[in-house]
Amino acid sequence: MFATTVKTGGDVVSLACRKFNSHNDRPWLVWLHGLLGCSDEWLPLVNLCAQHPSLVIDLPGHGDSTDVQVKDLMDMSCLLSETLAEQQISKYWLMGYSLGGRIAMYHACYGDMRGLCGLQIEGGNPGLFSQQERSNRLEHDRNWAGRFRSQPIEQVLSDWYQQPVFADLLPEQRQRLIKVRRHNNGDGVANMLENTSLGHQPWLVPVLRQVRLPFAYLCGENDKKFQRLAKRCALPLQTVPHVGHNAHRANAVAFAAVVNHFLSLFNV
């Protein structure tokens, strides 16, 4: 199923999305994947959270939304709102991993919050505090974007998954990710990486503290970097046992147990 939105100026933009369990009369779970991912990776979670209706979305530059581009995080937030309106989703939770988590937090801080019931964020960075950190990150992301545009994607992915945040991956897990994600379009990934870079993102922590919504920050037990980040920023940390940064992929059952328990606290 495809959500079609019309932006100012008459340009038609489409985000690919699919609905599951829509017969259930509860707020929707809207799943936002990370960079290099796609909506399919959420299907095990959709099945494990089947008491809720779910919408899985392909972000711009990814999956069946390869040809969609956004200028920045605000543009992405508006496109998310338009997609939800097109799908007639009026009450929803945002469930976001990594880039998807950053989009969800930004949307809760600066987007159209009507109908937003809560957030469950997995390994999303709430921002960089100093201008120097943001400048360094912009340079980092531009360098990777240049590689995604100009080099064979398998070669780039081989180096991408050597970054410290993926240190918990076993060699066979790393190779499996490269195999799954080598079908990405390098230009689409590069555009999304640059235009929604953490270096462009505002420091969200003060605004997040003012958002009066249920909020869980999910983090793999072995993801020490993001656990430290969550504690330093006083984010409401929920730990998923025995997994690293990509917790939902490494152990969907344990991840879903944390998600469903948190939802149950709010009679959802």
The architecture CATH gives domain 17-129+202-265: 3-Layer(aba) Sandwich (3.40)
pTM, rounded to two decimals: 0.93
Percent of the chain with pLDDT over 70: 94
The CA-based angle 195-201-222, given to 5 degrees, is: 100
Residue-level pLDDT at 5: 36
- Compute the distance between CA of residue 237 and CA of residue 215 in angstroms, rounded to an integer: 9
- Asked if residues 59 and 125 have their Cβ atoms less than 8 Å apart, the reply is no
Domain boundaries, the chain: 17-129+202-265
88: left (phi over 0), alpha (psi -120 to 50) or beta: left
- Per residue in 55-103, pLDDT tens? 999 999 999 999 999 999 999 999 999 999 999 999 999 999 999 999 9
